[in-house]
Structure 1
Amino acid sequence: MPLPLPNTAWPPAPWDYAYRVYAENEAWYLGDTDALERIYRREEQRTRPDYVRNGQPMRGGIVGAATRMFWGRPVPAGQSRTRIHIPAPADLATLSSDLLFSEPPEVKLTEENVAEKTKSRLDLIANSDDVHAMFNQMGELKAALGAAVLTTVWDTDVADHVWLEASAADVIIPEFRKGKLIACTMWTEYRQDNVFWRHLERHEIGSIEHALYEGTETNIGRRVPLTERTETEYLAKVINADSVIETGIDRLTVSYNPNMPTRAWRKKGELAYTGRSDFAELHPLFDALDETWSSWMRDLKLGAGKILVPESVLQSLGPGAGSYFDAGQEAFVGLNAPGDPDKMKLDQVQFAIRVDDHEKTAHAIYREILRAAGYSQSAWGDYGSEKQQTATEVEDRDKASERTRDKKALYDKQAISRQVSVALELDGKLFPGKGGGRFELPIVEFPDVSQEDPEKLARTLSLLDAAGAISTEQKVRRANPDWDDEQVDVEVAKIRSEEQDDSLADPRMPPFDENPGDDEDGDNPEA
C-alpha cells in the first residue's frame, strides 16, 4: 500500500477489520474496563440484516455473543454493581515475554577473525542491556497483539550508532507478497481537540518516505508539511524533495515478527500473514474470570452482617431528614414497640460467602486460559491440583511452556537476525570506521531453558556426572550460563584443586608405613 490519498478512510481495508480486533486485545491487555464496555456495548447495538426481525436484533451471531459478555451488559438504572478486572491478559503477555527474554538471546557473527571493534559494535547494537530491555517489550507486545516489527533507527544528533526499536501490530500496515514482507507503513498519532494528526513513514527497499496528515478519527484528511508538528519538524532537515530518506542499502529497515501462525485470518488475503495473539479465542474466558471475581466481591459485600430493626428504635434526624439506628447504643428507654411491649425484635441478615465455589471456578478458568494459550498449568501456580503427581508427570506437564517458547523463538530468531544485519550495514555507512559493515546473517542463540529450576539442574548434572557423560567445564557452564570463558576457567581450576586435596590421605590418620613388617632397626621381628 503506497501512502494513502487525501481524504480517504483510515485505516484502509482490510486493516480496518484487523484494527478492531487489535483494539479489543489492547483493551484486555491494558485492563481498560471503560474501553471494554464501549467495545461490547457497541457490538451489542450493531445489527445485521440476517439477524433482525421487526427492527429488533435476534439472539445469536455477533449481537447475541456481545450480549452475553459480562462487560457488555449495561447496569440497570438505580443499581451500583462492583465490577472487577483481573489482569490475566497482561499476565499472559508478561509470561510469554519472560519465557523468551528473561534470559536474553546472544547475537553472534558467523565470520571468523572478526575485528574487535566490529564485535564491540555488534554488542552495542544487539547485545546491550538497552536492547535486552527492548526485547522484553517486544515479547509482550507481540503476545498481546499478534505481531511486532523490529526497526533500525538512527539520529546522528542523538547517538553515534544506530539502534533497534520495536512497534506493535496496531501501529503498522505491512505489505506481503507470497508471505514475504516487501514494504511496511508505520504511523504515530497525535490528538489535539477533535483533530487527528498522523505521521506516516513508509519503509521500502532502499528508502523511507515520511508524511504528515491532518484528519479525523476515521479519515486520513489532508497531507501537510512535516513542519506543522514539532514532533516531525526535525525530519524536514533530512528528507529530500520527495519527502524520502535514501538508505543506500538494498534491504528493508524493518523486520516483521509474528507471535504465532494465524488461524482465524488464514483466508483473508494479506491478513493471513499477520500472526496470532495469545488472546485469540480467550476473550470469553477473560470475561468469565472477571465475572467470577466480581461475583465473589459481591458476596463479600452482601455477607457483611445487617440488622433489621423496628421503626420504633430509629432515631429521627428531623422532618424530611430521615432516621438512623445506633448499633452501639446500650440502653433503649421509652420504646413503644408494636406487639408485646416487653419484647423488641431485631433480625440479623447474614448471607453466605461462597469462597470455595468462587475459588475453584476462578482456578479452573486460570487453568483453561493457560492450556488454550499453550502454557503449562504450573506457569501461574498449581491451581486446585489435589492429585499427587510423580516427578515424571510434573516434568511432562511443564513441557507445554517450553514447547510454546521454542515455537515462538523461531520467529524471533529470524526477525532479530535480519534486522541486526541491516543495522550493522547502516551503521557502517553512517558511522564509517567504527566497526559496522555488511556481514552474513548473524546467529541468534536463545538459552536452552529460560530460568531453569536450580534443583532440577542439580539433579540433571549429578546424573550426567555419574554416567561419565559431562566434563567439569560443561558442568560449570550449565550451572552458570551467564559466565564468560575466564570465569569458567577460574572455577574449573578451583574445583580441580579441591578434588586433588580431597584425594590426599586424611591428616587425622597415622602415617602410612610402606614396610609394615620392619621394626625401627630395620629388622623383621617375625623373622
Structure 2
Amino acid sequence: MAIWDAWYVGDPERLTSVYRGTPTAVRVDRPAQYRGGLVGAAARFFWGRPVGDLQQAPAQLHIPIASDIARAGADLVWSEAPTFAATDKATQARLDELVDDGMLHSLAEGAELGSALGGHYLKVAWDTTIRDDAPFLTLVDADAAWPEFRYGHLVAVTFWWVVARDGQKITRHLERHETNAAGDGIILHGLYEGTEDKLGVAVPLSEHASTAALANLVDAESSISTGSPGIAVTYIPNVTPQRRWRNDPIGRHLGRSDLDGIEGLMDAIDEAWTSWMRDIRLGKARVFASRELLESNGPGQGASLDLDRELFSPLSAAVGSLNMATSTGNANGFLMAQQFAIRYEEHKQTVNELVLNTLRAAGYSAATFGEADGYGAAVTATEVAAREQRSLLTRDRKLRVIRPRLADILEKLLAVDAAIFRSAVKPERPDVQFPDGVQDSPLVLAQTAQALRTAEAASTKTLVAMIHPEWDEKQVDDEAQLILDENKPLPLSDPMGGFAPPAGPTAPGDLSGTTSGDAAVPAG
C-alpha cells in the first residue's frame, strides 16, 4: 500500500524513498539493488536504480498516470448520485435527510482513494458539536486500519491516527470497532505513546486535545455502545479478487488496487518521458568559440563573447578559416555550432504504447481518458459504450461490490439514528440503485420516444421514465399526468350554432321547457 500510495501521490521524492529506501539527498547504493528475485527487481526500478555521482544524477520526471486512473475509476461510479429507496415512507423521508451532499462527497472521495489503495472503510459516527440531530458517515483509508474478517465478512477493525509527534515520541489514537456479548456494536478508544514502530503504553484520553472529549463519554472499559446490532463499519473493496494476497487470511479480502500489477509499466513511462526530456535538453544549440573571439572583461572578470557583434578585429587567422569552421564544424576554427537531433517520434510512440498498455492492464479503455481518435465528435450512447466497453465492465464489477456494502452501512446509520437520536424510524436495508454510466443525448432520447409513441409500443409513463431516468416514480407520474391533461380533446361545439339545450324535462309531450312561440316537437 505504501508503494501504491507513492504512485498515487506522484511525489518524486516519495517514489525515490520507497524504491531506494533512502532519501533522495543520500544517493547510495543498496545491496538489494544487485540481488536477484523480486527484491532486486523492485530495487532496480527506474526510481530505485543506484546513482553513484550526485552531479551525474538524472533529472527524473514523473507522469501522474496513477492519479488519473484513480480519479477516472471514481468518476465512472460516482459521476451521478445513486438512489436509496426504503419501503417505509417515514424511513425514506429520514434517509433523504441523512444522505446529504457532504455524505455523497465522502463516498466519491472514498472511491478514488480505494481505487489507489485497494479499498476503503465507511463508518457511522456522531458528534453533537458538528451535527446535533443525526449521525453521519465518515471515511477511513485502507492503510490506517487493521481488519478482522470471518468468512469474508468484516467482524472487527482497529483504526489508528498519529495525533502528535515530539522527536522520537509518537502519540497515536486507536479506535476499535467490535461487538459485545449481546451482539451490539461497541467502539473502544485508546491513546498510546510510542515510537515509529512501537505502539508504546496507554495514557489517559484526556492527555491530548483530540481525545479529551471522549474521556467523559466512554465507560469503565473505554467503550461506547452504538445501541444497535453489528459493528458501525463496512469495508468496500475496490475490485475483487485480490491476486497478490489471495493466500493471505486478511489480504485476500482487502480488494485489488487499480495500480496492482502496473507498477513496472508506470515506471517505464517515467523512464521514457525522462529520456524524451533529456533529448530536448541535450538538443539545445551550442556555439563553441575560439579564444581569439573572446573579449576580456578586466582583471579577474573573465572574458565574454557578444554574438550580436558584426565586426571582429583583429583576427590572428584568415577569414577563410573562420568560414571553414562555421560551415564544416571544424573544432580548430573560430566558431563551431553543435545541435543534436531530438528523437521526437520514437519517444512519442514509445510513451503512447506504454500508456495504452497501462490503461488496458488497469481495466480501462483509452477512450475514457480521451485517447481515442475522434472522441470529441458527437456520438450516441451505443457508440460511447462500444468505445468504453472495458471501462464500463470495470464499473459494473465495482458496483457489484459497492451496492450490498453501501446498503449495509446505511441500515446501520438508520439504526444508530434510532438508538442514539431517538428518530422513531424503523431501520431497514434500503435498495441502492446507480444510474447507467452512459446515457443518450436528450435529442436521441426524444427521437426514440417519438418512434415508440408512433408505433404505440409504450405508454406515456414509460416514455417519461425513459427520457428522465434520474426522476423518481412520483415525478414520473406527475409529468405523465400533465402530458395526458394537456392532450385531452376539447369539448365539441353545437354544429347548429351553439343553442343551449332545453332547460326542462324532455319527456314525450312535455312542453314545459319551451317558450311561447316555440313549436312543440313530439317524440318520433
What is the TM-score when the length of structure 1 is the normalising length? 0.79
The structure with higher relative contact order (CA 8 Å, sep 6+) is: 1
2:401 corresponds to 1:429: no
Quote the offset at 1:327 in angstroms: 2.4
Question: 2:519 aligns to what?
Answer: none
Question: 1:292 aligns to what?
Answer: 272
- In 2: Cα distance, 1:375 partner to 1:459 partner: 31
Quote the offset at 1:467 in angstroms: 6.0
- In 1: Cα distance, 2:292 partner to 2:449 partner: 79
Q: Secondary structure at the match of 2:266?
A: helix
- In 1: Cα distance, 2:482 partner to 2:198 partner: 69
Aligned partner (choices 56, 60, 77) of residue 83 of structure 1: 60
Question: 1:275 aligns to what?
Answer: 255
Question: 1:122 aligns to what?
Answer: 95
Question: 1:200 aligns to what?
Answer: 174
- In 2: Cα distance, 1:459 partner to 1:32 partner: 50
Q: Could you say if the C-alpha distance between residues 393 and 248 of structure 1 is closer, same or farther in structure 2, counting changes exceeding 3 Å?
A: closer
Amino acid at match of 2:410: V
1:134-179 Cα offsets, whole Å, 9 max, x none, are 1110110110000111100001232121001121110111101122
- In 2: Cα distance, 1:267 partner to 1:342 partner: 74
Q: Could you say if the C-alpha distance between residues 192 and 251 of structure 1 is closer, same or farther in structure 2, counting changes exceeding 3 Å?
A: same
Aligned partner (choices 69, 83, 92) of residue 92 of structure 1: 69
Q: Could you say if the C-alpha distance between residues 119 and 47 of structure 1 is closer, same or farther in structure 2, counting changes exceeding 3 Å?
A: same
Question: 1:154 aligns to what?
Answer: 126
- In 1: Cα distance, 2:454 partner to 2:360 partner: 36
Q: Could you say if the C-alpha distance between residues 330 and 176 of structure 1 is closer, same or farther in structure 2, counting changes exceeding 3 Å?
A: same
2:396 corresponds to 1:406: yes
Q: Secondary structure at the match of 1:247?
A: strand
The gaps in structure 2 that reach 5 residues or longer are: 23-27, 180-184, 327-334, 490-524
Question: 1:523 aligns to what?
Answer: none
- In 2: Cα distance, 1:74 partner to 1:474 partner: 67
Q: Could you say if the C-alpha distance between residues 437 and 395 of structure 1 is closer, same or farther in structure 2, counting changes exceeding 3 Å?
A: closer
Question: 1:419 aligns to what?
Answer: 409
Quote the offset at 1:34 in angstroms: 0.6
- In 2: Cα distance, 1:227 partner to 1:256 partner: 30
Quote the offset at 1:299 in angstroms: 2.2
1:287-340 Cα offsets, whole Å, 9 max, x none, are 111222222222222232222222221233445544333222233222335896
2:136 corresponds to 1:163: yes
Quote the offset at 1:75 in angstroms: 7.0
Amino acid at match of 2:126: W
Conservation of the 8 A alpha-carbon contact between 2:285 and 2:338: yes
Equivalence map 1:137-148=2 (5 Å): 137-148=109-120
Question: 1:349 aligns to what?
Answer: 338
Paired residues, number: 463
- In 2: Cα distance, 1:460 partner to 1:400 partner: 26
Amino acid at match of 2:96: D
Aligned partner (choices 372, 375, 380) of residue 369 of structure 2: 380
Aligned partner (choices 305, 320, 324) of residue 285 of structure 2: 305
Quote the offset at 1:470 in angstroms: 3.9
Question: 1:11 aligns to what?
Answer: none
Quote the offset at 1:442 in angstroms: 1.1
Conservation of the 8 A alpha-carbon contact between 1:363 and 1:384: no
Quote the offset at 1:361 in angstroms: 1.8
Conservation of the 8 A alpha-carbon contact between 1:154 and 1:162: yes
Aligned partner (choices 284, 301, 305) of residue 325 of structure 1: 305
Q: Could you say if the C-alpha distance between residues 314 and 417 of structure 1 is closer, same or farther in structure 2, counting changes exceeding 3 Å?
A: same
Equivalence map 1:19-58=2 (5 Å): 22-42=1-21, 57-58=34-35
Q: Which of these two proteins has the greater Rg computed from alpha carbons?
A: 2
Q: Secondary structure at the match of 1:68?
A: coil
Aligned partner (choices 435, 444, 449) of residue 437 of structure 2: 449
2:231 corresponds to 1:252: yes
Conservation of the 8 A alpha-carbon contact between 2:365 and 2:389: yes
Question: 2:205 aligns to what?
Answer: 226
Quote the offset at 1:353 in angstroms: 2.4
Question: 1:524 aligns to what?
Answer: none
- In 2: Cα distance, 1:164 partner to 1:448 partner: 25
1:5-50 Cα offsets, whole Å, 9 max, x none, are xxxxxxxxxxxxxxxxx111111111121111011112996657xx
Q: Secondary structure at the match of 2:42?
A: helix
Q: Secondary structure at the match of 1:332?
A: coil
- In 2: Cα distance, 1:84 partner to 1:328 partner: 35
Q: Could you say if the C-alpha distance between residues 315 and 408 of structure 1 is closer, same or farther in structure 2, counting changes exceeding 3 Å?
A: same
Amino acid at match of 1:358: H
Conservation of the 8 A alpha-carbon contact between 1:100 and 1:450: no
2:228 corresponds to 1:239: no
Conservation of the 8 A alpha-carbon contact between 1:367 and 1:383: no
Conservation of the 8 A alpha-carbon contact between 1:71 and 1:287: no
- In 2: Cα distance, 1:487 partner to 1:324 partner: 80
- In 2: Cα distance, 1:368 partner to 1:71 partner: 22
- In 1: Cα distance, 2:291 partner to 2:260 partner: 56
- In 1: Cα distance, 2:215 partner to 2:263 partner: 44
- In 2: Cα distance, 1:203 partner to 1:46 partner: 41
Question: 1:61 aligns to what?
Answer: 38
What is the TM-score when the length of structure 2 is the normalising length? 0.80
Quote the offset at 1:436 in angstroms: 3.7
Quote the offset at 1:58 in angstroms: 3.5
Quote the offset at 1:351 in angstroms: 2.0
Aligned partner (choices 78, 86, 110) of residue 101 of structure 1: 78
- In 2: Cα distance, 1:250 partner to 1:239 partner: 19
Question: 1:16 aligns to what?
Answer: none
Q: Secondary structure at the match of 1:248?
A: strand
- In 1: Cα distance, 2:139 partner to 2:38 partner: 36
Conservation of the 8 A alpha-carbon contact between 2:161 and 2:173: yes
- In 2: Cα distance, 1:171 partner to 1:155 partner: 21
Conservation of the 8 A alpha-carbon contact between 1:304 and 1:350: yes
- In 2: Cα distance, 1:301 partner to 1:76 partner: 20
Quote the offset at 1:92 in angstroms: 0.5
Question: 1:509 aligns to what?
Answer: none
Amino acid at match of 1:302: L
Q: Secondary structure at the match of 1:312?
A: helix
Amino acid at match of 2:105: A
